[in-house]
Structure 1
């Protein structure tokens, strides 16, 4: 693992911070606090003895109670590094737990999922829908549900596990996916399409053909660029795992999804590098299911906030 990948892995950084602050918190509770208490008791005993000797000689010490309390408080006060560690530990631990097992926030970096998701969308990803996984290792320990066709899923990019990608599940294990002339067929059943008004992409100020696609029980929008081919043949990689399960031509492709893998495509069909280019997504790469858009600071619209279709 390179330094760059470590610095880019926020979960790993969070885990290290949690461990370090947790160790300091436990050491303070079990060792350092007792040492400070013992030192304070010794100092107070010496303080009381000194005042007793002064009183026996008839010397009166003013503000004895306040001085004694201040002495005790000064000795018992936590060093700054321990105080901050103890304050941060429960917060870091809570954030780590939420991100690892419940929900994790992501920001959409590209236009591959337009019109469903826009660049800059802040989304939430459900981390337990597809099973509970060990943080950092991403090893599944509890099986719950399997990804379904039509789900919008976040996963580790097979070519670089330090990168998170988001696409739509088109094919599940065993499916035969055929994409010809920009129309999908799944296991011999043609996917339904309904034409909509053209979509204006704000970034390029160009219009694209827009359709609703009925993928199983999920109806969602897609974009097609009439001038682009169904597959950029020259960009298709030749050596990804299970490459032999796919055949390509200039009208499209046909793939049989291997066991333990998923076929992913972006909703912006002609502006998405996906399984057509770099291959299948193994189950071990799954991060979670995207389910909610909660903000877009650059393109705020109340109507877009809510569940992801």
Structure 2
């Protein structure tokens, strides 16, 4: 269901009835007569729908994390908030940018519409901006010839769907001057060649069993999941076009299974 479109339709309908009642029906209605239900309810809900629409469209939008591709930064069941205006003001529903503010940066946790199916929202970390040369070989990420620093922080165990235990190592990774944790499963290949799709600008990438090299085209971004060996990301389905960006994740506001995560910044 396209919730932004549904919200827009409700706003137009209730707003239209509010305008109709305020400027035409109400002046003609006798003081002793009550509003009919088909006017009372839309008029009552219109301010609430207007506030929700403006907040969700231009300021912040809530999302729920459905998969483990961003472990350990984000866990399954985390409810997060996404800043909708960090990178600019976009028109609701059509998601067209009308005002530029900031450019996405390496290290940002990005929410975007999945390039292969824009009805699905994805969340990954930006590791490459337009013009960057991304190289990932033997589990080591580098950009423009500079390797990002990795420091081992011990082992990490989590349960995947199907109740399978996954054993991995947790590393601290520093992208430019920003530090975050990632997971690496040494038993998994650096890249699964059979899982690579044909995607726009595929010619910008070279793949082999040791990894890949990609040059990020203008107007696009390269993303990876923090759970490096448990993520479907840009190495498999390609670049994220600027027009698919929804916003920047910045806060965990709820988790039913772990209340201590509430208020954690991303």
TM-score (norm 2): 0.97
Shift of 1:304: 5.8
Q: Residues 215-245 of structure 1: CA distance to partner in whole angstroms, max 9, x if unpaired?
A: 112111111111111111001012x110000
- Equivalent in 171, 175, 188 of residue 211 of structure 1: 171
Q: Which residue of 2 aligns with 1:225?
A: 185
Counterpart mapping for 1:193-204 below 5 A: 193-203=150-160, 204=164
How many residue pairs get aligned? The number is: 263
Give me the whole-angstrom Cα distance separating, in 2, the residues matched to 1:149 and 1:99.
Answer: 25
Q: Residues 95-122 of structure 1: CA distance to partner in whole angstroms, max 9, x if unpaired?
A: 0000010000000011000000001100
Shift of 1:30: 1.1
Structure 2 residue matching 1:159: 3-state secondary structure: coil
Shift of 1:301: 3.5
Does residue 186 in structure 1 map to residue 143 in structure 2?
yes
Give me the whole-angstrom Cα distance separating, in 2, the residues matched to 1:305 and 1:209.
Answer: 26
Unaligned ranges ≥5, structure 1 = 1-7, 41-71
TM-score (norm 1): 0.83
Give the CA RMSD over aligned residues: 1.0
Distance 1:304 1:99, change over 3 A: closer
Q: Which residue of 1 aligns with 2:194?
A: 234
Give me the whole-angstrom Cα distance separating, in 2, the residues matched to 1:81 and 1:277.
Answer: 51
Counterpart mapping for 1:83-94 below 5 A: 83-94=40-51
Does residue 177 in structure 1 map to residue 134 in structure 2?
yes
Give me the whole-angstrom Cα distance separating, in 2, the residues matched to 1:113 and 1:89.
Answer: 38
Give me the whole-angstrom Cα distance separating, in 2, the residues matched to 1:194 and 1:132.
Answer: 38
- Equivalent in 242, 247, 260 of residue 288 of structure 1: 247
Give me the whole-angstrom Cα distance separating, in 1, the residues matched to 2:166 and 2:226.
Answer: 17
Instruction: Name the structure with the higher strand share.
Output: 2
**Contact 2:252-2:261 within 8 A present in 1 as well:** no
Structure 2 residue matching 1:270: 3-state secondary structure: coil
Q: Residues 277-308 of structure 1: CA distance to partner in whole angstroms, max 9, x if unpaired?
A: 100000000000000001111x2132563210
Does residue 164 in structure 1 map to residue 158 in structure 2?
no
In terms of Rg, which structure is larger? 1
Does residue 306 in structure 1 map to residue 264 in structure 2?
yes
**Contact 2:112-2:123 within 8 A present in 1 as well:** yes
Q: Residues 68-99 of structure 1: CA distance to partner in whole angstroms, max 9, x if unpaired?
A: xxxx52x2x10111111011101001000000
Give me the whole-angstrom Cα distance separating, in 2, the residues matched to 1:17 and 1:137.
Answer: 17
Q: Which residue of 2 aligns with 1:270?
A: 229
- Equivalent in 81, 85, 96 of residue 128 of structure 1: 85
Does residue 146 in structure 1 map to residue 103 in structure 2?
yes
Give me the whole-angstrom Cα distance separating, in 2, the residues matched to 1:190 and 1:202.
Answer: 30
Give me the whole-angstrom Cα distance separating, in 2, the residues matched to 1:83 and 1:132.
Answer: 33
